[in-house]
Every structure is written in structure tokens, then in C-alpha cells.
Amino acid sequence: MSRFEILRFALRGLAANKLRSFLTTLGILIGVAAVILLVAFGEGASRSIQQNIQQLGSNTLTVSASFAGGGPGGFAGGRGGRGGGPRTQARQLTLDDARALTDRAQAPSVRSVSPVVTANGTAAVYEGTSHTVSQLVGTYPSYFEATNKVVEKGAYFVNDDVVAARKVMVVGRTVADELFGAADPVGRQVTVSGVPFTVVGVLREAGSSGMQDADDVAIVPLPAVQQSLTGFGPLGSIIVQATGAGTTDAAQDEVTAILDQRHGIAPGGVADYRILNQAALQETVSSTIGVFTALLGAVAAISLLVGGIGITNIMLVTVTERTREIGIRKAIGAPRSAILGQFLTEATVLSLAGGLAGVLVALAGSRFPVAGIQPVVVPSSIALALGVSVGIGLFFGGYPANRAAKLRPIQALRHE
Amino acid sequence: MSVPVLSVRDLSKVYGEGDARVHALRGVSLTVERGDYVAIMGASGSGKSTLMNILGCLDVPSSGRYLIEGTDVGSLDERRLAVLRNRKIGFVFQSFNLIPRMSALANVELPMAYGGVGAAERRARALAALERVGLADRVRHEPNELSGGQQQRVAVARALVTAPSLLLADEPTGNLDTASTRDVLGIFDELNVSGRTIVIITHEDDVAERAKRVVRLVDGRIVDDRRQAPVEGAPPRARTPEVPA
């Protein structure tokens, strides 16, 4: 009997019970698609989180004030008594702190220091159009590099603008769209709290990171925002960029030493500031993502297992209820190889059709973002899902068929 | 005389173990010549079905020798046994045993497909066989669309389409009404007239009367072996089926 003949027999066998063939295929399809989609979703989530962290900047430390170590009424004058004495009050971060950090001798691992003041929810007006900018940042030009903010159109502001406290502004994509619509924002004047700012650049779109729109931002020179909005009070934070990926920990130690000294904190004492290390954060999040991916993988493995049991069940039932048919075929002279070939081909066709359809469904499904996360299909998950379900289909289609084909015809014929 | 189509020596078959042992056959010896038409009769439990299953190579004896056209069946491996079932034996079951959801034509083609006959020749021979049993107009019907008599005629067509040396029928008319019984037995008569060797199992006397030789089985032994007509020539009722029994 030729292979073509066996294939024809198998197809006829499948066509003879269309509903059962369809349900088997569907079971395999769902199993395969579920595994691929779950893994793709996990991968997509992990990539999106990593991207969000990278958006925060590379090799940076964020120093911010902390009241944990301070005494009562921690709002002390920033530039007050430096030096020693037992600390009773927490001190704010000051521009002097920031300047101290730029000391090459004491902090060789620091590449740049950007003092930051932030005004939240500031209204900006352009020709009658008003938009509340969720983050108005006053800083130095080094801030752009440290936080991976790239100007797409126009220019950055420069150190001269800071020294001269020029009222210039770099806006995020959301601000540009809200205020100017389709018009080119560069060169136009925006009024913030009655003070006119000239837009010099527009940032490249960063995308939303979590709940916050990272593009709803405006960046201006530090003195400009202090003069017009926040006053010359304490800094919100200081962004420190290390010289390289390997020096962030060294930079953190140096920053700690300088600030401890300036704020009069004894070794082992509770600091009145916090340092957020980007690299450490990334490491923590990566390991969290690892757990997350493992969890999704476990869910995927279970769905594959359940799908596999479904395939096993249908294949066993199919062969068992056709044992009599196998008996008839043997009685009229079918060799075992022909019977086994037919059932194996049936199982292969079902598994492959279901598996490939499952891959297609998964590929189609992965084009749609779920909860803001774009799934990323992992090729090895396709191979795994397809391999396991086809393997299960072949084994549990082939093994009982082989057992039935080995029976004497009369035993198979008497089977009910 | 030429090699007998079928020859069994001291055939016995035991089912079960220990106290539950049942001797279905206790030493049966039988020789069937080419062109003969043998009816094997016996009450239920006499071992006639067991004998038939062994003759059809569907089952194996516990002891004894079985030769088909001089070939010792006991010495054949699984693959050669399949070829033997395919080429030398046509089997008609009491319960038809057609494959469901396959047309009459496909059912009749099946043994030839396993025998390696080409598609075109297969179709022609299957159509001829179906025409011979009077079902030329039912070739596209599936078994569940045919009456019992028609199904049995499809089964007969399937059994004879490979031109086997031996046609075995296990109570072929047991599930049929009188008209269908007459049809099927008429076909057997014609096949025997054209030289086909037939062994049929029955417990009905009027079926047995059509055979040239009647063998009676009681408790797994042959108790009577009576010839009603010579091996050469037509079976007793051929061409005169209307004569009352």
C-alpha cells in the first residue's frame, strides 16, 4: 500500500467523523495558542517594564530629600549651619549640595550633576489655549542626557541660558500637541504664571510609563523656574550621572560621603536624603520580572498539560471506539503497517492542523495589545507548544492504534 | 487429485484457564476440495463459529495443523497472514461488518486497496462485483442507507472481489428475512457453479440443503459428514430455487 493511499484512507477516516475531528483540532489549537500567547504576553510585559526603566535614564542616581532622619519641623533653611553638632533637623537639598557633588577630586565617578526643581500641575497658556503641564522641571542642560530626553525638533537650552536665567522651554510631545496642535511650537511664546517662555525644542515621544504620561512635561532652565514659580527654595532632587555603567555604585558611595559630610550625618546615622540607584532598581525589577515570567510559564505549562490530556483523551477514545473497524480491516487482509500508518497519519494531520492553526491564532492575537502591553512572540515557545502537542497527538494516537492493530482480528471484532 | 483448498488436522481450541477452561474444539479434522460447497451445522456452543474463525485466520487454534492450498497457516508470520487473508479468503459475517460511513463501493474496494491493486482496476472490479450481487444502483450508498439484505450482499461482493480460493460465511443469513436469504443463497449457488469453494456455517436446515456436503458438529467434534451432491457439478438447488423445501 502506497503512502498516498494511506493518506487518502486517513483523510477519509477524518472526514467520516467531522465533529470529532473538528473538536480534536480545536483542543490542540487552543492549547498551542494559549501557550504562545501567554509567553508572548509575559515577554511583552517584561520588555515594556525594562523600557520604562531605561526611559528614566542610564547610569543615574536620583538624590532626593528624606525626612526620615530629621527631627520635628524638618523644613529648615537649606543654607543654614553647615558643619557638625548632633542633628536635630533634616536638611533640604540645596544648590550648594549639587555644586559640591561636581568636585572632581571628591567624586571622580560622577560625570554630571543636574539639580532639579519640579512644579506639578502648572497651567501653560498659548494664545488662549490652556494646558496643565503635569511636570514643569527646572534644571541644567546635563539633565537631558542623564534622563535620556532627546530633543526631536528645535534645540536644547544651554548653560548660558541657565546663567542668564533665560525664559526658554523644551516641551514634551503631549504639551506640544495640546497647546499648538499641528503648528510648529519652536519659537512661540507660552505663558506660565504670567511669565512668558519661548519654546526652543520639542522632546521625542517617550510613551507613557505606568500611570504617568512621560510626555506631559516641560523643561526650563533652573533659575528661570525659581524666579517665576518656585522661588529660590530647596531643590526637589539632584540627578547624578555616573561616568559609566560600572561606576554607579562608586558614584553612590562618593555622593553619600559628600552629602553625609555636608549634612553632618555621623557614620551609621540616619541620612536625611535618599539615593535611588537606577542600576540597582533595574536589577530588582529584572528579578521581579523573572518571577513574573516564570509564573506565566507555569500557567502556560499547565494549559499545555491540560491541552495534552484533552488530545490524549480524544485520541484514546477515537482508537478504542474504532477497534471493531480495525478488526474488520484486519479480517479482509489489512497488514498491521497499513492500519498503523492510517491512524498515525490521522493523528498527524489533526495535530499538525490544530497546532499550525493555533500558531496562526496566536500570531494574530499577539498583534493586539492587552492592558497596554504589546505581546512579543517568543519563537522557542512556538516550537515548544507545537512540538509537545504534536508529540502527544502522535504518541496517544499511535500507541493505542498499534495495540489494537496487534490484536487477532477476532479479538478486535468482538470489541465493543 | 489436486491439493485440497482447505485441510485441518486434529484442530482443538481451548478458552480460559483452570476451572474456567472451555474446550470449544476437540480434535476436528476436515478436508475441503476445490469447488465444494460445505455447510457446517451445529447447535449454538457446538464450536462451529470457533472453527470458522480459525478457518478464516481470524483466530489461532490451541493445537492442530491448518493448511490452505498446502500452506501451513501456523508457520506464517503476521505480515504473510495478512496477505493470506487478503488473497485466499473471503469472509462473510453474520453481522455484515461493513465499515460505517464508507460507501458500498469504497467498502468493496477496500480489500483490493490493501492488496495493492491500482485505483482504476480496483474501481472496475468493485463495480463488477457489486453488479454481480445486484447492487449496481446502490454503489454510492453508505451501509446505514442500505437494508440488511443489501448490506450482506455488499459484504459478499467485498468477499469475492479479490477472487479468493475460499469463501467463508458465518451464518450469513442469520440476520436476514426470507427474501434476502434467498437472494444471498442464490448468489452463493451461482458462485459455486462458477467453481468457487464455499464453506458456510448455519443452523438452518433449508440453508444446509443447498450445500453439496453437510458436516455436523456437536461439542467440538464432527459427528456426521454427509455428501448431498458430487464436488463436480452444480449444488443441489442451483437454478431451481423456487422448489419448496
ipTM: 0.88
Decide if B114 and A335 are in contact by the 8 Å CB cutoff: yes
Decide if B110 and A5 are in contact by the 8 Å CB cutoff: no
A1 contacts on B by Cβ (under 8 Å): 113-114, 116
Q: Which of the pair, A231 or A354, is modelled with greater confidence?
A: A354
pLDDT value for A71: 41
At residue A211 the predicted structure's pLDDT band, cuts being 50, 70 and 90, is low
Which one, of B41, B61, B90, B36, lies nearest residue B215 by Cα?
B41
Residues of chain B under the 70 pLDDT cut? 1, 238-245
Quickly list H helices, A213-272: 222-225, 248-263
pLDDT at position A279 over 80:
no
Residue A68: other Cβ atoms inside 10 A: 12
pLDDT at position A75 over 60:
no
Cell of A73: 519641623
Decide if B60 and A16 are in contact by the 8 Å CB cutoff: no
pLDDT value for A70: 44
A41/chain B closest Cα distance in angstroms: 44
Which chain A residue's Cα is nearest to B108? A332
pLDDT value for A57: 67
C-alpha distances (whole Å) from A208 to each of A51, A237, A364, B88, B113 are: 11, 22, 25, 80, 66
pLDDT at position A274 over 90:
no
Measure CB to CB from residue A333 to each of B85, B93, B100 and give the nearest one: B85
pLDDT value for B154: 92
Three-class SS of residue B102? Answer: coil
Which of A43-57, A69-83, A130-144 reaches the highest mean pLDDT? Answer: A130-144
Top residue of B77, B85, B170 to mutate, by most chain A CBs within 10 Å, is B85
pLDDT value for A68: 56
Answer whether B207's CB lies under 8 Å from B35's CB. no
High-pLDDT (> 70) share of chain A, %: 91
Q: Which of the pair, A389 or A82, is modelled with greater confidence?
A: A389
Cα–Cα distance between A186 and A178 in angstroms, integer?
14
- Amino acid making up residue B209: E
Cell of A182: 499641528
Measure CB to CB from residue A409 to each of B58, B79, B113 and give the nearest one: B58
Decide if A331 and B158 are in contact by the 8 Å CB cutoff: no
Least confident of A30-34, A343-347, A372-376: A372-376
High-pLDDT (> 90) share of chain A, %: 1
Quickly list H helices, A164-277: 173-180, 222-225, 248-263
Decide if A325 and B111 are in contact by the 8 Å CB cutoff: no
What is the DSSP secondary-structure string of A260-316?
Answer: HHHHTPPTTSPPSEEEEEHHHHHHHHHHHHHHHHHHHHHHHHHHHHHHHHHHHHHHH
pLDDT at position A73 over 80:
no
pLDDT at position A347 over 50:
yes
Burial degree of A342 (CB within 10 A; 0-12, 13-18, 19+): buried
Decide if B100 and A335 are in contact by the 8 Å CB cutoff: no
How many contacts (CB atoms, under 8 Å) link A and B?
73
Cell of B62: 490451541
At residue A76 the predicted structure's pLDDT band, cuts being 50, 70 and 90, is very low
Least confident of A100-109, A167-176, B84-93, B121-130: A100-109
Three-class SS of residue B166? Answer: strand
Q: Which of the pair, B243 or A112, is modelled with greater confidence?
A: A112
A329 contacts on B by Cβ (under 8 Å): 99, 110, 114
Least confident of A71-80, A90-99, A263-272, A310-319: A71-80
pLDDT value for A81: 39
At residue A187 the predicted structure's pLDDT band, cuts being 50, 70 and 90, is confident
Answer whether A83's CB lies under 8 Å from A264's CB. yes
pLDDT value for A87: 47
pLDDT at position A212 over 70:
no
Q: Which of the pair, A361 or A20, is modelled with greater confidence?
A: A361
Cα–Cα distance between A255 and B143 in angstroms, integer?
90
Cα–Cα distance between B143 and B173 in angstroms, integer?
17
pLDDT at position A318 over 80:
no
Q: Cell 467531522 identifies what position?
A: A18
pLDDT at position A411 over 90:
no
Cα–Cα distance between A117 and B162 in angstroms, integer?
97
Contact partners, residue B167, CB within 8 Å, separation at least 6: B89, B90, B92, B159, B160, B188, B191, B196, B197, B198, B199
Topology of the domain comprising B37-58+77-227: Rossmann fold (3.40.50)
pLDDT value for A27: 81
pLDDT at position A53 over 80:
no
Residue A15: other Cβ atoms inside 10 A: 10
Cα–Cα distance between A126 and A128 in angstroms, integer?
6
